[in-house]
């Protein structure tokens, strides 16, 4: 609580330097508060991609590299396919279907056609943004998109109604509201226990020196710090990444803070000693925010901070990997191999080395060979039966652990809902399908709410 800075603690003189220091404290507090979430999020994404310590681990099959059964990737891919299959269809309807309300009916039709045109291939790539946000929700636990308003205008000459003299006036010729996907690490928020308590939202952008000069001026562009952008956006969190994954173009890290209390937007960068820009409410939206309520996993009323679904099943995923490694090593150990008495000569070894069929191999000193018990007394085979028994036990334990994982993650409900046959009654099949959809229904409702709120903001 000591790191929380309220808007009342902002500089009273509202100087550029004072605002810069204020938002620096706010961002530092948010980074500390979300440090665990960021670290866990990067680990979950790495686990989903099955990233190993080195590339050689994928090629060298003769090493003792741990083996994985990446059920997490399969579960997430299945959920993502079920939640988002087709391009969404826009449906705009009137709140009250009065028969004589032609204005509302025509307005709803216009909105629906305009929004649907943007969803289609001829417009912006909304499906890509929604898919990316959905994947972020299923992996680190936070998915978000935002809207922007852009327009083009020209100056035209019009008559002043009072003086009847020509004056120049700007006229909008084109306007657009693109939907931008926001990476989960490019989003910060102030302290709050619920969404309604959040005081501010922050969005990170990476701009080149030319882009900074165009937006904020040459003087600010010369004084900012430029660096290579990292995959995670944080140097501390990117220590394990290869240097080749860095952006070869140096850019400035700029944060855009939307403060709900004073209805202003602030642009801040750590490389500057003053606030870059301050703008009054630019969109005049009903809820001020340019984003719908984010898709967040496992929220509580203690603190508005998501927790990835993977965290609650990580022990089972790890146990399955341990079992898979043991099964892999034991499977490689199962082979037809043994030892034989060297004094018996080369005839015993030739039985397996030469691969002869329907041929007899002569044995020297047959009397001594028979006295030792023949072939059974000369050869001692590797105890494959014991190893196979151990392998079967491990496989049974692994299947039991996988079933526990499905129970924890809810995938067992989906499997039960999908397993129907021709000998089961329609009522039973419908009940199984309904039961199988219980777990995914909450995710479907959340994603539908997010996509609808996003389009409502755009409208």
* 22 part of a folded domain: yes
One domain, residues 195 and 283: yes
- Looking at residue 143, its pLDDT comes to 94
Run of H or E including 277: strand 277-280
What is the pLDDT averaged over residues 17-39?
A: 93
* 83 part of a folded domain: no
CA–CA distance, 416 with 79 (Å, rounded to integer) = 15
One domain, residues 206 and 254: yes
Dihedral sign (CA 95, 101, 106, 107)? negative
- Looking at residue 156, its pLDDT comes to 76
Task: Return the DSSP state at 372.
Answer: T
Highest mean pLDDT among 73-87, 114-128, 185-199: 185-199
Domain boundary among 254, 275, 304: 304
Among residues 72, 82, 76, which one has the least CA distance to residue 436?
A: 82
E strand segments, 350-421: 379-381
Among residues 332, 378, 440, 334, which one has the least CA distance to residue 80?
A: 440
- Looking at residue 379, its pLDDT comes to 65
What is the pLDDT averaged over residues 215-242?
A: 72
One domain, residues 221 and 295: yes
CA–CA distance, 184 with 145 (Å, rounded to integer) = 10
* 213 part of a folded domain: yes
**SS3 (DSSP) at 124:** coil
One domain, residues 51 and 190: yes
* 125 part of a folded domain: no
CA–CA distance, 41 with 139 (Å, rounded to integer) = 7
Distance set, CA 315 to CA 287, 310, 311, 335, 436 (Å): 41, 9, 8, 32, 24
Question: Is the confidence at residue 456, as pLDDT, over 50?
Answer: yes
303-332 burial, b at 16+ Cβ within 10 Å, e below that, comes to: ebbbbbbbeebbebbebbbebbbbbbeeee
For the ranges 16-20, 118-122, 331-335, which has the lowest average pLDDT? 118-122
Q: Could you tell me the residue range of the domain that residue 415 belongs to?
A: 315-439
What is the pLDDT averaged over residues 7-12?
A: 48
Global pTM reads 0.76
Both structure tokens of 354: 């030469």
Dihedral sign (CA 302, 442, 35, 73)? positive
One domain, residues 291 and 386: no
CA–CA distance, 254 with 436 (Å, rounded to integer) = 45
* 113 part of a folded domain: no
CA–CA distance, 69 with 179 (Å, rounded to integer) = 37
* 446 part of a folded domain: no
One domain, residues 328 and 362: yes
Distance set, CA 384 to CA 246, 323, 341 (Å): 50, 19, 20
- Quote the number of domains for the chain: 2
* 39 part of a folded domain: yes
Question: Is the confidence at residue 269, as pLDDT, over 60?
Answer: yes
- Looking at residue 357, its pLDDT comes to 63
One domain, residues 47 and 145: yes
In sequence order, which residues have a C-beta less than 8 Å from that of residue 405 and are 6 or more positions away? 71, 313, 316, 317, 320, 411
Both structure tokens of 410: 């809810």
| Chain segment 135-192, per-residue pLDDT in tens | 999 999 999 999 888 877 777 777 777 777 777 777 777 777 788 899 999 999 999 9
Domain boundary among 259, 285, 304: 304
One domain, residues 406 and 428: yes
CB-count burial class (<10 Å; 0-12, 13-18, 19+) for 184: buried
CA–CA distance, 367 with 369 (Å, rounded to integer) = 5
Kindly state the percentage of the chain with pLDDT values over 90.
25
Dihedral sign (CA 9, 13, 14, 16)? negative
One domain, residues 42 and 168: yes
Residue with the bigger pLDDT between 1 and 69: it is 69
- Looking at residue 60, its pLDDT comes to 46
* 122 part of a folded domain: no
> How does residue 195 score in pLDDT terms, banded at 50, 70 and 90?
very high
In sequence order, which residues have a C-beta less than 8 Å from that of residue 349 and are 6 or more positions away? 340
Domain boundary among 304, 328, 360: 304
Beta-strand pair 187-189/200-207:
antiparallel
Count the neighbouring beta carbons within 10 Å of the beta carbon of residue 126: 23
For the ranges 32-41, 89-98, 405-414, 448-457, which has the lowest average pLDDT? 89-98
Run of H or E including 79: helix 71-83
One domain, residues 297 and 321: no
- Looking at residue 366, its pLDDT comes to 62
One domain, residues 414 and 333: yes
Beta-strand pair 226-228/187-189:
unpaired
One domain, residues 324 and 414: yes
| Chain segment 393-409, per-residue pLDDT in tens | 888 998 998 888 888 88
First-to-final CA distance of the chain = 38
> How does residue 430 score in pLDDT terms, banded at 50, 70 and 90?
low
Kindly state the percentage of the chain with pLDDT values over 70.
67
């Amino acid at each position: 609580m000591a790191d929380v800075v309220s808007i009342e603690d902002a500089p009273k003189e509202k100087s550029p330097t004072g605002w810069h220091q204020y938002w620096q404290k706010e961002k530092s507090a948010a980074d500390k508060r979300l440090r665990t979430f960021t670290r866990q999020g990067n680990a979950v994404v790495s686990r989903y991609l099955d990233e190993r310590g080195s590339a050689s681990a994928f090629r060298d099959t003769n090493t003792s590299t741990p083996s994985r059964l990446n059920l997490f990737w399969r579960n997430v891919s299945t959920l993502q396919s079920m939640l988002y299959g087709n391009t969404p269809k826009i449906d705009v309807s009137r709140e009250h279907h009065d028969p004589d309300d032609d204005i509302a009916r025509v307005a709803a039709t216009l909105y629906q056609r305009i929004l649907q045109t943007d969803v289609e291939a001829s417009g912006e790539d909304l499906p890509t943004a929604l898919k990316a946000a959905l994947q972020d929700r299923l992996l680190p636990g936070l998915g978000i998109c935002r809207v922007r308003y852009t327009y083009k205008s020209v100056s035209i000459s019009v008559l002043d109604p009072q003086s009847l003299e020509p004056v120049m006036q700007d006229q909008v010729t084109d306007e657009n509201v693109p939907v931008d996907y926001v990476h989960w690490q490019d989003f910060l928020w102030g302290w709050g226990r619920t969404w309604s308590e959040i005081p501010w939202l922050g969005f990170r952008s990476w701009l080149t020196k030319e882009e900074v000069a165009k937006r904020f001026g040459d003087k600010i562009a010369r004084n900012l710090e430029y660096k290579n952008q990292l995959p995670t956006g944080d140097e501390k969190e990117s220590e394990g990444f290869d240097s080749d994954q860095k952006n070869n173009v140096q850019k400035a890290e700029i944060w855009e803070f939307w403060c709900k209390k004073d209805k202003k937007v602030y642009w801040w960068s750590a490389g500057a000693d003053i606030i870059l820009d301050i703008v009054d409410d630019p969109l005049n939206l009903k809820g001020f925010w340019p984003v719908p309520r984010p898709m967040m996993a496992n929220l509580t009323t203690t603190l508005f901070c998501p927790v990835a679904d993977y965290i609650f099943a990580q022990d089972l995923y790890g146990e399955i990997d341990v079992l898979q490694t043991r099964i892999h090593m034991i499977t490689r150990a199962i082979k037809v191999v043994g030892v034989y008495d060297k004094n018996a000569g080369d005839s015993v070894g030739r039985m397996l080395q030469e691969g002869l069929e329907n041929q007899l191999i002569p044995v020297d000193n047959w009397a001594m060979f028979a006295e030792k018990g023949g072939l059974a007394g000369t050869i001692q085979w590797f105890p494959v039966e014991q190893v196979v028994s151990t392998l079967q036990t491990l496989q049974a334990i692994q299947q039991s652990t996988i079933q526990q994982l499905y129970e924890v993650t809810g995938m067992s409900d989906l499997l039960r809902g999908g397993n129907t046959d021709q000998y089961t009654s329609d009522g039973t099949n419908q009940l199984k399908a309904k039961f199988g959809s219980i777990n995914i229904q909450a995710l479907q409702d959340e994603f539908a709410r997010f996509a609808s709120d996003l389009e409502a903001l755009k409208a």
